Amino acid sequence: MIYFIADTHFYHENIIKYCNRPLKNSKQMNEYIVNKWNSVVTKDDIVYHLGDVGLGSTDELKELVGRLNGTKILIRGNHDYKRGINGWKKVGFSEVYKKKLVLGNLILTHEPIEVEENYINVFGHIHNKLLDERFNKNNHICVSCDVIDYTPIKI
């Protein structure tokens, strides 16, 4: 199976208040997301993470990402650029992309982008905020963990 998620923000204390996440601290948030992830994803599945993985050290993130089931592929988000492509591979992502990836009619990005009618933009970045009116809601799917119950989803 193929799953999608974005904006996990592991080890990011402030994201809890920014997005009104119902969690006490980043340690509890990390464990909650790991449990939700592993409740649906098996070791044989593929998960596309559409950016903003986390803020921890390489060692912290490697340990945490190593506990997540599945093959993990990253499309980097705005919080992911300080750690280069090889850095994210060290953390545990098998493939890392800079801006976007096209899978059939799906265009995977971190931030929403305008796409032609016959394509679907799967994105994160906006968390639990409304999609800007300039985008067609019929071909845009937000997979920020804040709107998918912190659980990777199938599309």
Q: What is the CATH number of the domain that holds 104?
A: 3.60.21.10
φ, ψ (nearest 5 deg) of residue 37:
-55, -55
Question: Is residue 92 in a domain?
Answer: yes
The residues, ordered by sequence, that sit 6+ positions from 61 with a Cβ below 8 Å of its Cβ are 10, 11, 53, 54, 91, 92
Question: Is residue 154 in a domain?
Answer: no
What's the total number of domains in the chain?
A: 1
Question: Is residue 89 in a domain?
Answer: yes
pTM: 0.97
**How does the average pLDDT of the chain come out, rounded?**
97
Q: Is 10 helix (H, G, I), strand (E, B) or coil?
A: strand
pLDDT digits (tens, 9 = 90+) for 74-106: 999 999 999 999 999 999 999 999 999 999 999
Which residue segment(s) compose the domain that 141 sits in?
2-147
Instruction: Work out whether the CA dihedral 19, 23, 26, 31 comes out positive or negative.
Output: negative
- What's the CA gap between 39 and 127, in Å, rounded? 21
pLDDT digits (tens, 9 = 90+) for 4-23: 999 999 999 999 999 999 99
Please measure the distance between the N-terminal and C-terminal CA atoms of the chain and give it in whole angstroms. 10
Average pLDDT over residues 27-41: 98
